[in-house]
Amino acid sequence: MSIIEFLKVSRIYQVGDHEQKALDNIDLEIEEGKFIVILGPSGAGKSTLLNMLGGLDSPTSGKILVEGNDIANLNNDELADYRAQTVGFVFQSYNLIPTLTVFENVALVKEICKNHLPVKEMLNEVGLIDHIDKFPSELSGGEQQRVSIARALAKNPKILLCDEPTGALDSETGAMVLKVLLNMARTYHKTIIIVTHNQNIAKMADQIIRVKSGHIKEIINQENPLSVEEVEW
């Protein structure tokens, strides 16, 4: 069952006297509960696609359907509710508040989400239950990224959007983070969408979407994706 549909979506930016097409008339369907990897060079349109799906940007034309609702037509209040309740975000930068503990950073979601999950349960899920009283400065980069994942998951989103989530991590730590994300798709039936340059991550995907120059060049469905342990990092 499709949870996301892009229908003839374009995003055009005005750069001086010129128009730049970040996305050009794309069609795309993504099934619920899948682990999706979007690959492409810098400037291909990957982040634009992710930002529009997250309600952080809107298309110049076309429709973006999430559970059948066109999020391109939502007003500001509806968009804020959509971002709070439906999607979670994990970025390369961890965006943790340095003066709050691990527990407090994740517990922030209680302020914005009605159906949030237990904070300690999510911290246990990412292997950080023993670090709940530490501050971000006391954690490694991989641990900070796992806090940001726990915070995103605690919102209980249906869709988790990840922009280069392992880009600043070494391969061993990155693999640990990816294992958490993959488990969210396999165990919790979350739709995980990762934008990356890393071809290895694509080996784990149910579906690979290759983007180039604002177009979807190829969609590959993998019936037998590799586990994290099977990928050579």
pTM: 0.90
pLDDT digits (tens, 9 = 90+) for 113-154: 888 889 999 899 888 999 999 999 999 988 998 999 899 889
pLDDT digits (tens, 9 = 90+) for 99-110: 999 999 999 998
Q: Is it the case that residue 16 has pLDDT exceeding 90?
A: no
- DSSP E strands in 59-155: the ranges are 61-66, 69-70, 87-91
Q: What's phi and psi for 226, nearest 5 deg? A: -75, 155
Pair type for strands 87-91 and 215-221: unpaired
